[in-house]
Amino acid sequence: MGELANAIIFYCLAAAIVGMSILAVTSRRMLRAATYLLIVLICTAGLYLLLNYHFLAVVQLSVYAGGILILFIFAILLTSSHGDRAYSHDKGRVIAGIITALAGIAITTWITMKHHFLYGENPALMGDRQIDMKEIGQVLIGTGKYEYLLSFEALSILLLTCAIGAILIARKR
């Protein structure tokens, strides 16, 4: 029963992801494209939940859907003009893009189906093994093997630098 429910949820999420990502790159209006991107990101968080990465799903929702999308919508509203709607897409470029995308999808799907991944019955998939918050916190600020204090700190400095740089670039002179 659980497997069937998982499969149904997965197929709904996959259909939503595929459809909405195609709409996000083909929609003429930028605000709609941003909304479709929001739906894709929320469905991705659903996939993380399906894989039992609860913390990652929350991070995805709060950082991507909460933070980045707000930035996008602000930028779209600030720079909205008739630019994106007035011109039709370049025909040759669209055909080249479609050919590239279809060829890429075909090659990667073929390779994925051809390769046999070796994994047995995985108890983690059915929710038997969840990663608890304490473990994640320990790994994030530990200094041992497979622990990530250095990259965590480097990331915090990177975010600080990006905030300062963004203010510096976008301010009025």
Partner 1 sequence: MVTMEHYLIVSSIMFFVGVYGFITRKNLLAVLISIELILNSVEINFCVFNRFLYPEHMEGMFFSLFGIAISAAETAVAIAIIINVYRIANNIDVRHIDKMKY
In the complex, the smallest distance separating the C-beta of residue 18 from partner 1, rounded to whole angstroms, is: 5
Any contact of residue 84 with partner 1 (CB under 8 A)? Answer: yes
Question: Closest by alpha carbon to 73, among 30, 44, 20?
Answer: 30
Touching partner 1, residues 63-82 (CB under 8 A) = 63-64, 67-68, 71-72, 74-76, 78-79, 81
Site for partner 1 in 5-64 (CB under 8 A): 6-7, 10, 14, 17-18, 21-22, 24-26, 30, 33-34, 37, 40-41, 44, 47-48, 50-53, 55-56, 59-60, 63-64
Residues in Cβ contact with 41 at an 8 Å cutoff, skipping those fewer than 6 apart: 60, 61, 64, 65, 69
Q: Is 150 in the site for partner 1 (CB under 8 A)?
A: no
140 contacts partner 1 (rule: CB under 8 A): yes
Amino acid at 150: L
